[in-house]
DNA sequence: AGGGTACCCGTA
DNA sequence: AACATACGGGTGCCCT
């Protein structure tokens, strides 16, 4: 740990103690320690960490992780700048053509990027309106994608606006920005914020490499500009449904554990239990609904939100909700206990002891309290996932060091449940199984409740087109 | 000109 | 009146 400055160590300590203080500065350190003497502050912080059961998270996760992240930032990811330049020309041409069509429909030129001006054109000039048109928090008529979708059939301008937004976003966020961030070798070096989130996850900035587009042909073309140099491949490993597995582990729900013990398609298996049918008889629609509920559970969703994501009626959503928790009764109890614990103590903990405090958990204002409860339900799941991936990163980095593999392989990115490496062709066969093995067994068996943790590997020359390993 | 915020949207 | 969790970041627009 010798290459962490004492300031970095103290900042991490403050954040581990209270993750609502993201990116702590010197003032935050003094405030948290209750003294303006740095040495005394460090001692005070360490003692608090000990007292709050946070020593494992601080000493075995956050402190060792810092140098690992530095290695990743230093290595950087190779980008094919010429590919981006070609995308830029292509997309700008398309964007101009779409803008012309929009001006034609509108009868005048205006700033399509301005929600205010766009709203005036759509709602006033063209007189469009949809049922249940939503307002923005500021009271303006919303032009967000989900609202425009409702108006798709009313006027051809809507489709053009949606297409314009997609292209504009990709150009201004990625395609026209990334070339200016490359070093002389064409590599892109992000900065990982280790104390940047309240849940324990990492964040990435300048640029944010954790939100590079991943679906849709236009977005995928951007990923294809991220490459491995000749003689190497990009190799990615992602945890399979890690948060739902953690819900099974943390709750101990017998039925949900069985879903994962039996392997196979988890969403389909959940659908089978939920709808009381044999796994082979699960329809496409039943699986889709089960998947929506699975995701919703992890975020503390209520019936209303479920209705939105299912596109169903309230009564139907309520029925699915009831069926789900009838099928997984212990999971339902666990979620209630989590809220109750958070209300009693003011915080939640992850499987490894990481804490998150909730400001509004005892608020008399119902929706403030409800929001805090949703966060409280999500925090142990998202936070434990963060713990697990970080532990795996530390052990994988140690492997690369111990086996003198730094010249053959480098960890490049962490995208929450996924690790991306650049590995020389002659080392992939040997190394990929070892990385996968570390990731899968990083959670001690006694903590797993017999729920298997599984990892999928992919490799390829381009980030956008990788094929399953094995 | 620069700061703060609203709105929008990409990822897990 | 509320919004399913966690982020970073672009542009517009208002302010100083």
CATH architecture of A243-379: Orthogonal Bundle (1.10)
Read off the tokens for A103.
Answer: 């001006």
Task: Give chain A's mean pLDDT.
Answer: 92
Q: What is the pLDDT of residue A1?
A: 47
What does the DSSP 8-state code read for residue A332? H
The b-or-e profile of A37-73 (16+ CB within 10 A means b, else e) is eeeebbebbbebbeebebeebbebbbbbbbbbbebbe
Best CA proximity match to A356, nearest among A20, A10, A13, A52: A20
Residue numbers in A 430-469, CB below 7 Å of strand C: none
- Determine the Cα–Cα distance for residues A375 and A162; give it in Å rounded to an integer: 31
Which CATH number, 1.10.3810.10, 1.20.1060.10, 2.160.10.10, 3.40.50.10790, labels domain A81-181?
A: 1.20.1060.10
- The larger pLDDT score, comparing residue A232 to residue A365, is at A232
Query: Measuring from the CA of residue A114 to each C1', which nucleotide is nearest?
Result: C12
Dump pLDDT digits (tens) for A425-450.
999 999 999 999 999 999 999 999 99
Q: Is the CB of A140 under 7 A from strand B?
A: yes
Q: What is the DSSP letter of A155?
A: -
Average pLDDT rounded to a whole number, residues A398-423? 96
Q: Token pair for residue A248?
A: 């099974």
d(CA A388, CA A213) in angstroms, rounded, equals: 25
Q: Could you tell me the two tokens for A46? A: 């360490």
CA of A200 to C1' of C7 (A): 11
* Interatomic CA distance for residues A366 and A368, integer angstroms: 5
Token output for A295: 């995701």
**Domain locations in chain A as residue ranges:** 6-75+187-211, 81-181, 217-242+387-468, 243-379
Place of tokens 């009764």: A329
Cα separation of A324 and A319, whole Å?
9
Asked if A381 and A335 count as a contact pair (C-beta separation under 8 A), the reply is no
- Protein residue minimizing CA–C1' distance to B9: A169
Q: Please tell me whether residue A193 adopts helix, strand or coil conformation.
A: strand
* Helix, strand, coil fractions of chain A, as percent rounded to 5: 60, 10, 30
Q: Note the CA–C1' distance, A394 to C1, in angstroms.
A: 46
Domain at A217-242+387-468, CATH from 3.30.70.370, 3.30.750.24, 3.40.50.11780, 3.90.1010.10: 3.30.70.370
- In angstroms, the CA A208 to CA A212 distance is 8
A197 touches strand B (CB under 7 A): no
Mean pLDDT, range A211-217, rounded to an integer: 85
Q: Is the CB of A204 under 7 A from strand C?
A: yes
For nucleotide C5, the protein residue with its alpha carbon nearest to C1' is: A299
Quick: pLDDT tens for A280-320.
999 999 998 899 889 888 888 888 888 877 778 888 888 88
Selected residue with higher pLDDT from A366 and A386: A386
Nucleotides of chain B in contact with protein CB (under 7 A) are 6-12
- Contact at 8 Å (CB) between A371 and A405? no
Percent of chain A with pLDDT over 70: 100
Nearest nt (C1') from A238 Cα: B12
Nearest residue: Cα versus C1' of C7: A203
Distance A120 CA to B8 C1' (A): 17
A374: Cβ under 7 Å from strand C?
A: yes
Closest CA-bearing residue to C1' of C8: A208
The predicted pLDDT at position A379 comes to: 94
**Could you write out the DSSP letters of every residue in A219-261?**
HHHHHTTEEPPTTEEEEEEEESSHHHHHHHHHH--HHHHHHHH
Give yes or no for CB of A300 within 7 Å of strand B: no
Q: Which of residues 414-453 of A touch strand B (CB under 7 A)?
A: 415-418
The answer to whether the beta carbon of residue A136 comes closer than 7 angstroms to any atom of strand B is yes
Which bases of strand C sit closer than 7 A to a protein CB?
A: 1-13
d(CA A7, CA A34): 16
pLDDT band at A219, cuts 50/70/90?
A: confident
Poorest-pLDDT segment among A168-177, A334-343, A344-353: A168-177
How do A409-414 and A203-205 pair as beta strands? unpaired
Give me the CA A172–C1' B2 separation in Å, rounded: 21
φ and ψ of A409, to 5 deg: -155, 145
Candidate from A12-26, A176-190, A220-234, A289-303 with smallest mean pLDDT? A289-303
According to the model, what pLDDT value does residue A2 have? 53
pLDDT in the model for residue A261: 95
Cβ atoms of residues A282 and A271 within 8 Å: yes
In contact, A456 and A237? CB cutoff 8 Å: yes
Q: Which of residues 30-89 of A touch strand C (CB under 7 A)?
A: none
What's the mean pLDDT in A82-105?
Answer: 92
Residue A373 pLDDT level (bands cut at 50, 70, 90): very high
| Predicted local confidence at residue A139, as pLDDT | 77
Q: In this structure, is the CB of residue A211 within 7 Å of any atom belonging to strand B?
A: yes
A144 touches strand B (CB under 7 A): yes
Which residue shows structure tokens 């994608």?
A: A145
Residues A457 and A266 sit within 8 Å (Cβ to Cβ) = no
- The C1' atom of C15 and the CA atom of A317 lie apart, in whole Å, by 45
Q: In this structure, is the CB of residue A150 within 7 Å of any atom belonging to strand B?
A: no
Alpha helical stretches, state H, A254-354: 254-261, 266-275, 284-298, 303-310, 314-327, 329-345
The residue ranking higher by pLDDT, A452 or A140, is A452
Q: How do residues A15-37 score in pLDDT, each as one tens digit? A: 999 999 998 989 899 999 999 99
Sorted by sequence, the CB contacts under 8 Å of residue A363 that are 6+ apart come out as: A369, A372
> CA of A54 vs C1' of B9, distance in Å?
36
Question: Is the CB of A214 within 7 Å of strand B?
Answer: yes
pLDDT of A412 higher than 50: yes
Residues A237, A437 contacting (CB under 8 angstroms) = no
Whether any strand C atom is under 7 angstroms from the Cβ of A310: the reply reads no
Q: Is A16 exposed, middle or buried (0-12, 13-18, 19+ CB in 10 A)?
A: buried
Using pLDDT thresholds of 50, 70 and 90, give the confidence band for residue A345.
very high
Could you give the CA distance from residue A66 to residue A390 in angstroms, rounded to a whole number?
A: 10
């Amino acid at each position: 740990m010798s290459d962490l400055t004492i300031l970095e160590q103290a900042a991490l300590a403050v954040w581990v103690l209270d993750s609502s203080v993201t990116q702590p500065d010197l003032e935050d350190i003094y405030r948290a320690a209750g003294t303006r003497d740095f040495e005394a502050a460090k001692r005070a912080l360490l003692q608090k960490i000990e007292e709050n059961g946070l020593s494992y998270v601080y000493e075995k996760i956050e402190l060792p992780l810092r140098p690992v992240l530095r290695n990743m930032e230093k290595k950087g990811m190779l980008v094919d700048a010429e590919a981006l330049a070609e995308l830029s020309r292509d997309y700008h041409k398309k964007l101009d053509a779409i803008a012309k069509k929009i001006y034609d429909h509108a009868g005048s030129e205006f700033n399509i990027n301005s929600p205010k001006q766009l709203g005036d054109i759509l709602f006033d000039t063209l007189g469009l309106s949809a049922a249940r048109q939503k307002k923005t928090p500021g009271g303006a008529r919303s032009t967000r994608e989900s609202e425009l979708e409702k108006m798709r059939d009313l006027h051809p301008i809507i489709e053009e606006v949606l297409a314009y937004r997609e292209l504009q976003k990709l150009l201004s966020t990625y395609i026209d920005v990334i070339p200016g961030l490359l070093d002389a070798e064409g590599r892109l070096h992000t900065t990982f914020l280790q104390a940047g989130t309240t849940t324990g996850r990492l964040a990435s900035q300048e640029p944010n490499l954790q939100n590079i587009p991943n679906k849709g042909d236009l977005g995928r073309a951007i990923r294809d500009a991220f490459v491995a140099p000749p003689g190497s491949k990009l190799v990615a490993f992602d945890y399979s449904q890690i948060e739902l597995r953690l819900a099974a582990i943390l709750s101990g729900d017998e039925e949900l554990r069985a879903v994962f013990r039996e392997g196979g398609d988890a969403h389909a298996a959940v659908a089978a239990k939920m709808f009381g049918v044999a796994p082979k008889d699960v329809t496409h629609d039943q699986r889709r609904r089960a998947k929506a509920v699975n995701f919703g559970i992890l975020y503390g969703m209520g019936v209303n939100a479920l209705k939105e994501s299912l596109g169903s009626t309230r009564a139907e959503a309520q029925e699915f909700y009831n069926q789900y928790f009838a099928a997984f009764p212990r999971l339902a109890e666990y979620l209630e206990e989590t809220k109750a614990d958070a209300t009693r103590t003011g915080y939640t903990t992850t499987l490894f002891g990481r804490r998150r405090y909730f400001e509004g958990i005892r608020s008399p204002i119902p929706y403030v309290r409800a929001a805090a409860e949703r966060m409280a339900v999500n925090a142990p799941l998202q936070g434990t996932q963060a713990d697990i991936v970080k532990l795996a990163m530390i052990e994988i980095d140690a492997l690369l060091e111990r086996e003198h593999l730094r010249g053959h392989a480098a960890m490049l990115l962490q995208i929450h449940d996924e690790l991306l490496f650049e590995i020389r062709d002659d080392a992939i066969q040997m190394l990929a199984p070892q990385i996968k093995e570390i990731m899968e067994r990083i959670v001690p068996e006694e903590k797993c409740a017999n729920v298997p943790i599984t990892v999928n590997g992919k490799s390829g020359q381009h980030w956008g087109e990788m094929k399953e390993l094995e």
